[in-house]
Every structure is written in C-alpha cells, then in structure tokens.
Amino acid sequence: MNTPRIELTPFTITHARNRNYVMWLNDAQVLRYLGRPDYHHGVTLRDCERYFEDLTTDRNVSFFAVVLDGDRFVGTGKLRKVVTAGSDTGVVDVGLMVGDRSCWGLGIGSRVISLLSDHAFQSWSSRKLVAGMYAGNQACVRAFLKGGFHIEGQLQAHIWDPKLEQFDDLVLMGRFSDRSRTIHLKSHTEPRTDQ
C-alpha cells in the first residue's frame, strides 16, 4: 500500500467554499467529536465563509487545509496561540479534523499532528503544545500519543457527546519542545541557589 503524501497548505476561501468542506461540517459522524455544538444545527456555505473571514483577522491562529498527494483536500489543521492578559504564553493549542471519512484509520491524523507540531515549534518558537479531546475518541487520543503528546489529565464528565446523549471525559494532552522540556526538567531538579 502506498502511503499518501500529506501537506498542510494555508486554508483559503476556496477551501471554505469547497462543497466537501460544507458537507463534512454537516456530517454527524464528523461533527461528533469536533466540540462545536453550534454546528449540529446545520452549517451553510455562508457560515463557512464567515468562519474563514474570522480566521483571517485573528493573528493568533494558523489554519491549514490538509491535502493528500498534492490535490485532495481531506481535512483541516489548526494552531491557536494561548494568550493570557494580552501576552503570548508560548503555548499553542492544536486541533485537526479529518473530514473525508474514507481517510479515517489510515494514520493521517498522527502525521498531521506531527506537521502541525513542527510548524508550531519551528515557525512560532512555541515552548509547549496542548490539545483536548473526547475520551471516547480513542483514535484521536492514539493519534496525539503517536504524534509525541502525553496525557496530562482528564476532566470527568466534562463535554457533551451528542451521539450517546451523555457527558464524556475530556482528555488533556501536551507536548513540550525538546528545548523547553529540558529547561522545564532542569528547573525542577536543580536545588535553588537564591535562598
């Protein structure tokens, strides 16, 4: 089996208007773990265009189209800087959606996570990446683990699962850059000299 070439390209208005993209955002299976309850009432082409407009004005977000073999748009990837009191924390929230269900189970998610991580660490000099996901979405949990993330915690009965009509746990995951992980570990193992 040939492994498809995966690229992250800037998400454009053409992607926002793509009929497959609009279809994914109206597919209950795709939406189930997206964490966007507002989408469960139907997403229109105009909604997608407005979302794109909002993204282009947010300096703290990079949004990508996931493209296979140079021309097949199959999903999206998102990086959002975590900003506190107007200051960049060096922490970036990572998200993805593989909307094309024919691509589920092919390992694309973990490869997209690796590409997004590389971009955040290299282009944004991020010190840490974070992600949150439904505990019931074990494929996503495995993809993030394979992409170098670690489970940092789990919030019990925290997020609504529309299919099961009950609350699910929210798994919190993180990944440090190699450089900041070393600094973090060093600061917790060396004795303080300022006392």
pLDDT in tens, 18-70: 999 999 999 989 988 988 877 878 899 999 999 999 998 999 999 999 999 99
Q: Where are the domains of the chain?
A: 6-189
Please give the pLDDT value at position 153.
97
Question: Is the pLDDT confidence value at 72 over 60?
Answer: yes
Q: CA gyration radius for the chain?
A: 18
Q: Let me know: does 58 contact 52? Beta carbons within 8 Å.
A: no
Report the percentage of the chain scoring pLDDT > 90.
73
Global confidence as pTM: 0.87
Q: How far is CA 142 from CA 4, 13, 32, 111, in A?
A: 20, 31, 17, 12
Question: Taking all residues of the chain, what is their mean pLDDT, rounded to a whole number?
Answer: 90
* HSE-CB for 85 with a 13 A CA cutoff: 0
Query: Quick one: average pLDDT of 146-175?
Result: 93
DSSP result, 58-121 = -TTEEEEEEEETTTEEEEEEEEEEEEETTEEEEEEEEEEEE--GGGTTSSHHHHHHHHHHHHHH
CATH (one of 3.30.70.1020, 3.30.70.100, 3.20.20.70, 3.40.630.30) for 6-189: 3.40.630.30
CA proximity to 131, closest of 78, 86, 172: 172
Query: Quick one: average pLDDT of 132-149?
Result: 96
Tokens of 42: 């139907």
Output the CA angle 139-44-39, nearest 5 degrees.
40
Report the percentage of the chain scoring pLDDT > 70.
90
Q: Alpha-carbon torsion 137, 65, 88, 129, what sign?
A: positive
> Whats the size of the chain, residue-wise?
195
Question: Is the pLDDT confidence value at 73 over 80?
Answer: yes
Coil/strand/helix, residue 173: strand
CB atoms within 10 A of CB 158: 15
Decide which of 42 and 195 is more confident. Answer: 42
> What confidence tier does 116 reach under pLDDT thresholds 50, 70, 90?
very high
Give the CA dihedral 33, 61, 180, 109, nearest 10 degrees: 40
Which secondary structure element, helix H or strand E, spans residue 49, and what is its range? helix 45-57
